[in-house]
Structure 1
Amino acid sequence: MAVMTWSAALMGCFSDAVWSVVLAGALGLLGGVLLVVGHRQRPSGLRPRTLFATLALACVLGAAVAVHCAVIAGNREKGPLAPAMAADDGIVIHILITGSPAPAPAPGHSSDGRWTVDASLIDLTSNGRVVRGTADIVVTGGAAWQNVRAGQSVRTTGTLKQVREGQPEAALLSASSAPVVTDSGFDARQTAADVRKRFVSAADWLPPDAAGLLPGMVTGDTSALPESLETAMQTTGMTHLTAVSGANCSLILGGFILLARCFRLPRPAAGIFAACGLFAFVMMVGPDPSVLRAAVMGAVGLAALTGGLRGRSLTFLCLATTILLLLDPAMAANVGFLLSILATLGIVLLAARIASWIPDWVPRWLAAGIAVPLSAQLLCGPVIVALQPQFTTFALIANVVAGPLVAPVTIFGTIAVALATALPWLAVVPIAVAGTCAGMVAGVARLFSGLPGAALAWAEGPVGIAAMVLSSVVTLLAVWMALHPADVKRRVMGLHGVVATRLDALLATREQGTTKHGRLESCKETSGRNHLWLLPKTPGPRASRRTPSVGGMRHRPPSS
């Protein structure tokens, strides 16, 4: 189901409304046909009815995603913003700020003094005509836009432009004037932004690396992150630690469940308590795609545990992916969401198996610490080189060393966020603990990024992606061979025996059963030899040979 919904979402994001409707109709028709065929099919071991029902449900969900994409495309093509975009004239627009300002990256990888923020349309005036409607837009403007807050209603002027394909917004507003606030309303997202800023201020007494990295690892605020440290994290493949990810959500959810068990809450109450805590954490850090994936996946698992059901992590991942794509099909084209799904999929499918390959004398926590980043990087590698064509040589060892430090940073940092709002003087201790661990993470990044060959050039485009896929497969095979030498020897010898037997049969067939130069055969396992080279016998009778004993021949004395 997840694969079907993702495919439909990708096709819908890069298609117009008409083709999205056609896709929805085709998937709906296919789902109906599968349902009818499954109903008429007799149950059997090869093609059970549940298979057809599952395929039909996947087609129906894909059709629903395609319909959602058609609505988004129709709003972009014929919505309230379409005439203004077609005219390409200056407009006066009234919008509601729905996000937090962020620097707008320029081609030179610097913000160039411009900022971007998400907003929602209230009304606009174009050529003396006032248009009211609902549409999501992205605003880019000068330095004055960094001071707007979520929940504010502002009025400005600018020009509407088309967004890139795959973006969920209806238009891009290039603001030509500073925003004029018309209403400062209350918004929970602005409250969360204030909490994040307060935490950044509370941690500014730490060393520069710790003060910049700690807010990013706990709340997702990377405004104080030094540029040199950000480069070091990219070189060592640790950029996922500079922001909140699914691992943080898992730790927070586990902490709330443990706290509920300490108070001996019943299962339903514990589930509600943990869900509320997870929701508050997501609101604080913001709805990042990887955070939403982890939150929905955790909520699905929490609902299953509350109901007394046990499921598999792969099932929870597929359900979370399907739900998020139904709500927002544009996530299918989001690279962060794709990396989050691939990393989780690699951990679910490979981590436990790789950990079981490691010898028993290695501690289990160390085996898990090696298996988890390795399994995640094996699946994320092709996507990463497509974005940044370079090979991070020390990514695995750097993540293994820094992995144990993530949990104390997340736990003590989250406690410090709550205390920094209510009791700032009491937040010093958890900030010190979390900041020390964050500083150690930064030290690991700087250490390995400074080693020779930390970042090697990699091929770009499809060639680089294919090479990384092959490299991931070879790496997995090499790890298995290194940890299973006995199995490798047994399989090689077995393959050798099979090849020798097949060659012998082939030679025997070609020579029509006659053998003049010997043949290669497999001996019995009890012979103590691997193979035996059998020489042909002499066709004539062979004369008997007797070897005299030491000292010459001795005649037996005649019997008396």
Structure 2
Amino acid sequence: MKPDLRLWPTAASVWCSCAVVASALLSPVVALLAASLTSLAVAVGWRYRRGRIAPAVLLPLVALVLATGVAGLRVWAVSPDLLPEPGSAVTIEAVVDSDPRLVEGAGSSIVRGPPRTVTGITVHRITWEGGALSARLPASLWAPADAVGLLPGTSVTGYATVLPRKPGGDGTLSLSMRRVPTVLGEAPVWQRVAGNLRAGLRDATAGLPADGAALLPGLVLGDTSTLPDALADDMRTAGLAHLTAVSGANVSIVLGAALGLAALGRVRGRGRAVVAGVALIGFLILVRPSPSVVRATAMGSVVVLSLLTGGQRRGPPALAAASIVLLLVDPWLAVSAGFALSVAATAGLLIVAPQLRDGIAARAPWLPRSLAEALSITVSAQLVTAPVLVLIGASVGLGAVPANLLAELAVAPATLLGVAATLASAVSPALAHAVAVPAVLCAQWVAWVAHGVAATAPLLIPWPTGARGAALALMLLASGALTVKYRGPVRRAVSRVPRPVSAAVVAGVVVCGVALPRAGSEHWPPTGWVAVMCDVGQGDAIVLRIDADSAVVVDAGPEPARVDRCLSDLGISRVSALLLTHFHADHVEGVPGVLRGRAVGTVLVSPLAEPLDQAERVRAWCADAGVPVEVVSAGDSRQVGPVGWSVLWPTRIIRGEGSDSNNASLTALVVVEGVRLLLGGDLEPASQAAVMAVNGALTVDVVKVPHHGSLRQNPRFGPWSGARAALVSVGVDNGYGHPAPETLQSYESRGVGVWRTDHSGDIAVVATPAGVALLGRSGPGG
């Protein structure tokens, strides 16, 4: 039976219009005008050439205009022009949306800030000097640790400071409070009951295997508050991170169990719908109805609905309808990778999985149907989500499919037993503990799978990321689909090829897919390397070589897996010192990847511990690893083997001239085997001028262009360094416009060779008898 895809063009039209508005490519008014004119032009043209306009054409055009208008109103309501500027003092009245998450402080008293919590809230009224606004504004709230007891649904008020927004974000505010917000109204009874049940599950797992006990609340309730960083990293590497968030799979498992019990109880007709509805509402309350959970509930409900009412025929229209509703309610979902992954995975389950299952059953009738079903679901989900994962920079792992197949053996029983233990905690803690024992053992199995697959990280395919990688993945998927659809002609064409030629082609594919990537890694790093700028995407991570297995690392990039991969490829197992120029996420979120499996001597940080939440995360990671944290500033000089460095900046903290954290970046003059490098983090014009003023003349071989080559540069900084080569660490197709063409021109116009990680991958600085050379791992540079 062919899937019913008639509503999909309308859903695609709504998605595109919301994406244009939410990403601020066009203002809401201009976007609405463009959508109206486009729809009118298409309608007139269609009418002129073919007469009557078919509903299949008219509906997407109408949806395009209406969705643009609705999305425009939603985006306009949270326009920065209507809200207070970052740094403004405000008074808010809000409702807590999610459980506060505690961010522990650690380290010495000199660098440690107090523990903080972060939670999602909906602001109903916000007032500030010169303005006030009453609306439903989503926001994230940072507050003292004592706020950890606030339950979702609690009404609060208090004084806060507006934090800077993330570029290209979803329109949410970020607020920081110095004091615990004042409670205006308690959480509803059902939220208090849910809070007690969630705490009951955590209590029920006490004394059970550590990884399983920490993972079970995540598998069942999406509660990752007790999940160790090492396990979280392994779950991501193994392609299992989706299991630690409430997803459509959780909803499908719970609804399936409820409908199964209804069938055993001989409930028929509308009674089954009532049972499913009650189970769905109860589970939604238990896991907290946050936007991501509501999205997961919609996707899971679509899957169950399709199974109950018509499989491939009813499922795709339901998926399209659910997507349209969710996009109109929250237009920012159109630019959310999580939403794209949810829709893609659900589409794979509805359309691709049945085809795979039937194909497997036809060609391997000896295989149990349940195993064929599990294999088809896992493979289809991995295939259809691969382009999205590649687009956002994730690695394509050979271990993801077997990891998910192995984990699936335990996910359903862990979820159902976990829900049972949660409910039992309201009756008897002893009963809850007894039910939790097998649930934790199932979760422990998932943890073992994650650890085992993560240990095979070298099997990650070096697939290109960003738009190029996504386009290649789509081409391969399309080629595979066409081959399957026209398998008869393809089989006849292949049968005419001599077998020796076929064998040679297969061998060539194997060599290109397996041997060549490994051969490339064997030739990396190049002989004589003294420094490597790691390709960590939109962030910084630089490795300074001490000897064959030890190094000094400057910054850690935005993701643990990427810096871990870079260090592993270089053979680094010991890090004498890790310098973190400042605490922005694109420089420090990869710290767990540096700490993982390596002996780290000390971590040196900027004297400005801002943003506070990021600084606290770094200190917590270091405390867990037993690594001391030390604040350094201008005048600090050290020598570790052939690596020596002197900190040139900061001598003071510059406030109010751009980003305070960027301007407080540790700036170091590094000398390795006679090669001189200037590393300045994300210095902005004010701090670049200050560095030049306090340090006099300087000449280096290589300069790292500050702030990823952004437009915010002091035009004298590059010439002052005297460098003949410049490094830019930047992500492919990043949304910041980095590096700015004007910045590149300022270096290239003076004959300086510019090397970029988005073009060349990892970049090595090599000391040769003839001087300093640069070598890109995946392509040429300047």
Give the TM-score normalised by the residue count of structure 1.
Answer: 0.74
Distance 1:254 1:430 in 2: 20
One-letter amino acid matched to 1:173: L
One-letter amino acid matched to 1:331: L
- Against the structure 1 CA distance between its residues 6 and 262, is the aligned structure 2 distance closer, same or farther, given a 3 Å change threshold? same
Instruction: State the match for 1:231 in structure 2.
Output: 233
- Bigger proportion of residues as helix: 1
Q: Is the 8 A contact 2:247 2:297 kept in 1?
A: no
Aligned residues: 477
Of residues 324-333 and 138-147 in structure 1, the stretch that sits farther from structure 2 once superposed is 138-147
Instruction: State the match for 1:276 in structure 2.
Output: 278
Distance 2:481 2:427 in 1: 49
Instruction: State the match for 2:595 in structure 1.
Output: none
Q: Is the 8 A contact 1:235 1:454 kept in 2?
A: no
From 2, 12, 18, the counterpart of 1:9: 18
Instruction: State the match for 1:449 in structure 2.
Output: 454
Q: Is the 8 A contact 1:31 1:57 kept in 2?
A: no
Alignment of 1:144-543 (within 5 A): 144-161=146-163, 163-164=165-166, 167-169=169-171, 171-186=173-188, 188-287=190-289, 291-297=293-299, 299=301, 311-358=313-360, 359-451=364-456, 453-455=458-460, 457-470=462-475, 472=477, 490-493=492-495
CA RMSD, Structure 1 to Structure 2 (Å): 3.8
Distance 2:157 2:460 in 1: 47
Q: List alignment gaps of at least 5 residues for structure 1.
A: 42-48, 497-560
Distance 2:215 2:85 in 1: 41
Q: Is the 8 A contact 2:395 2:462 kept in 1?
A: yes
- Against the structure 1 CA distance between its residues 473 and 446, is the aligned structure 2 distance closer, same or farther, given a 3 Å change threshold? farther
Distance 2:220 2:278 in 1: 18
Name the SS for the 1:85 alignment partner: coil
One-letter amino acid matched to 1:90: A
Distance 1:318 1:447 in 2: 38
One-letter amino acid matched to 2:21: G
Name the SS for the 2:342 alignment partner: helix
2:103 paired with 1:94: no
- Bigger proportion of residues as strand: 2
2:33 paired with 1:22: yes
* Percent of aligned positions that are identical: 28
1:314-344: CA deviations, max 9, x gaps?
Answer: 2222122122112222222222111111112
- Against the structure 1 CA distance between its residues 211 and 487, is the aligned structure 2 distance closer, same or farther, given a 3 Å change threshold? farther
Q: Is the 8 A contact 1:113 1:143 kept in 2?
A: yes
- Against the structure 1 CA distance between its residues 33 and 118, is the aligned structure 2 distance closer, same or farther, given a 3 Å change threshold? farther
Name the SS for the 1:91 alignment partner: strand
Name the SS for the 1:116 alignment partner: strand
1:147-188: CA deviations, max 9, x gaps?
Answer: 332232333323335644665545332334432334334264
Name the SS for the 1:264 alignment partner: coil
- Against the structure 1 CA distance between its residues 440 and 164, is the aligned structure 2 distance closer, same or farther, given a 3 Å change threshold? same
CA drift at 1:78: 8.0
Q: Is the 8 A contact 1:405 1:437 kept in 2?
A: yes
Distance 2:355 2:17 in 1: 32
CA drift at 1:6: 1.0
One-letter amino acid matched to 1:17: P
Distance 1:133 1:405 in 2: 44
Distance 2:142 2:400 in 1: 35
Point out 4+ residue stretches in structure 1 off by more than 6 angstroms: 34-39, 301-310, 474-478
Q: Is the 8 A contact 1:385 1:460 kept in 2?
A: yes
Distance 2:482 2:305 in 1: 38
Q: List alignment gaps of at least 5 residues for structure 2.
A: 1-9, 106-111, 499-782
- Against the structure 1 CA distance between its residues 408 and 453, is the aligned structure 2 distance closer, same or farther, given a 3 Å change threshold? same
Alignment of 1:13-162 (within 5 A): 13-15=22-24, 16-23=27-34, 25-26=36-37, 29=40, 41=52, 52-77=54-79, 82=83, 84-85=84-85, 88-102=87-101, 113-127=115-129, 132-161=134-163
Q: Is the 8 A contact 1:390 1:455 kept in 2?
A: yes
Q: Is the 8 A contact 1:23 1:66 kept in 2?
A: no
Name the SS for the 1:140 alignment partner: strand
Distance 1:429 1:38 in 2: 72
One-letter amino acid matched to 2:321: L
- Against the structure 1 CA distance between its residues 307 and 465, is the aligned structure 2 distance closer, same or farther, given a 3 Å change threshold? closer
CA drift at 1:207: 0.5
- Against the structure 1 CA distance between its residues 22 and 488, is the aligned structure 2 distance closer, same or farther, given a 3 Å change threshold? closer
Distance 2:138 2:416 in 1: 35
One-letter amino acid matched to 2:241: T
- Against the structure 1 CA distance between its residues 307 and 342, is the aligned structure 2 distance closer, same or farther, given a 3 Å change threshold? closer
Distance 2:40 2:413 in 1: 52
Q: Which one has more relative contact order, counting CA pairs under 8 Å at least 6 apart? A: 1
Distance 2:251 2:71 in 1: 29
Distance 1:178 1:22 in 2: 46
Distance 1:100 1:67 in 2: 33
Distance 1:34 1:301 in 2: 38
Name the SS for the 1:237 alignment partner: coil
One-letter amino acid matched to 1:400: L
Distance 1:392 1:228 in 2: 18
Distance 1:118 1:408 in 2: 30
